[in-house]
Structure 1
């Protein structure tokens, strides 16, 4: 990530260490955005907390 191009993300980068890998953070972000989009479209979503299904991954069900 280029700090000059993304100064806010660069400032928050040290706080993202708790999220694990960039891929894990990306999956979490995708799940959150998917839920937001679904609710905006009138759908109802329920999130599965990390590891609740034994996979250690974030899951979304509709």
Structure 2
């Protein structure tokens, strides 16, 4: 489950990785967590991809 502190951490690390030329990728993000992310600005500024499963990643 992605709570507020986890979302804050993701939002903090994503631009730092991007500035370093790296991308943050997520996988196995389930429905409720994805719905929570979609309600925020996080995915609009996300540097990487969201994969359905680890095989696709």
TM-score (norm 1): 0.37
Greater helix proportion:
1
